[in-house]
Amino acid sequence: MLTFAVVTPGLDLQSSFLELLEGLGLSQGLAQLLWLPLPMLTVLVAAVVGVLVNVWLERKISAAVQQRIGPEYAGALGVLQPMADGLKLLFKEDIIPAKADGLLFTLGPVLVLVPVILSWLVVPFGQNLLISNVGVGVFLWIALSSIQPIGLLMSGYSSNNKYSLLGGLRAAAQSISYEIPLALSVLAIVMMSNSLSTVDIVNQQTGAGILSWNIWRQPVGFLIFWICALAECERLPFDLPEAEEELVAGYQTEYSGMKFALFYLGSYINLVLSALLVSVLYLGGWSFPIPVEWLAHLIGQSVEAPLVQVITGSLGIVMTVLKAYLLVFFAILLRWTVPRVRIDQLLDLGWKFLLPVALVNLLITAALKLAFPAAFGG
């Protein structure tokens, strides 16, 4: 708890913006109303741009791993290729199969995408650089991510196609089984930081730079969380719900045009989100490997100085994104390294390996917290 005292308030854009508007003579309520859409729009744009970057990285890294070149002619190094892909999907005909349930068929992809975007609510890029510092941050994310399988099941069932149904069922089974070890490994982190808030979890890791990151205290939890996050995102080696060799495209089989794009967007936003949360929970979030307070002290600047605040704020954003994309790179590399598991192996890994290990990890964390409260957040 002592570490909390040295944590600086950091860049607070909201209060500065409100002060500015109130200085211009607007009422407090109006200023608040004008502020509200700004962070939401920013995060929405950030999420979509994140997906574009992700798709480009996926294509380029996959190409490099297979000794190909990958997209090359759409923009420099093919950076515009994801835009072209998106534009193509936008212009394609939106088909609802004749015997499908139109309402559920349309609702499915929406129900998959919306919770993922909502989860960005709790992703912090700095002390005050998030939409809302809700007290139950991580819990909110876990709760939202469990809405997703309903959407997948819905779209799989309403497609009126055996492959879609199988894919939907697999997706639901996979998401539900991997949510438990995921939640348990998050619980160990929460136990150490005494808070569900993502901001508090990062602040608890800022004491001594890279050494105070949770990955050193929770190496097993980190691995479990990452494996479960990959399974939740349906990334290889856990992409059984859309295993193209056996299920055509799983629950996406009957989808085309923008509805398919929603699934596509959802899965990539989810991947970026998972990577961001791994960096928040285990890799110190926005914190630099060397505490910025030390660096500021070294060059004789106050952490409160406006310029230093702006620099540390941008450094925080850069660090968060960098850590997240490092994990995304790792996920892509993993995709071309490991083969897909069978459905029984998948459930075996989830229930018979990750779940007990996550439980043991939680118990050991609790014991260590009682034994060494200083090191494990007493």
The binding site for other proteins (CB under 8 A) comprises 61, 63-69, 333-334, 336-338, 353
Least CB distance to other proteins at residue 84 (A):
18
CB closer to other proteins, 13 vs 362: 362
CB closer to other proteins, 83 vs 333: 333
CB closer to other proteins, 64 vs 343: 64
Least CB distance to other proteins at residue 10 (A):
36
Q: Which sign does the torsion angle of CA 167, 172, 177, 179 carry?
A: positive
Q: Which CA distances in Å does 48 have to 43, 82, 86, 107, 331?
A: 9, 11, 11, 20, 19
Least CB distance to other proteins at residue 345 (A):
11
For residues 166 and 250, give the distance between their C-alpha atoms in angstroms, rounded to a whole number.
7
CB closer to other proteins, 70 vs 75: 70
CB 291 within 8 A of CB 206: yes
Least CB distance to other proteins at residue 357 (A):
8
187: burial class by Cβ within 10 Å (0-12, 13-18, 19+)? buried
Q: In degrees rounded to 5, what are phi and psi of residue 199?
A: -65, -45
Least CB distance to other proteins at residue 216 (A):
18
CB closer to other proteins, 149 vs 181: 181
User: Token pair for residue 26?
Assistant: 């607007």
User: Token pair for residue 244?
Assistant: 């193209």
Residue with the two structure tokens 């992809």? 109
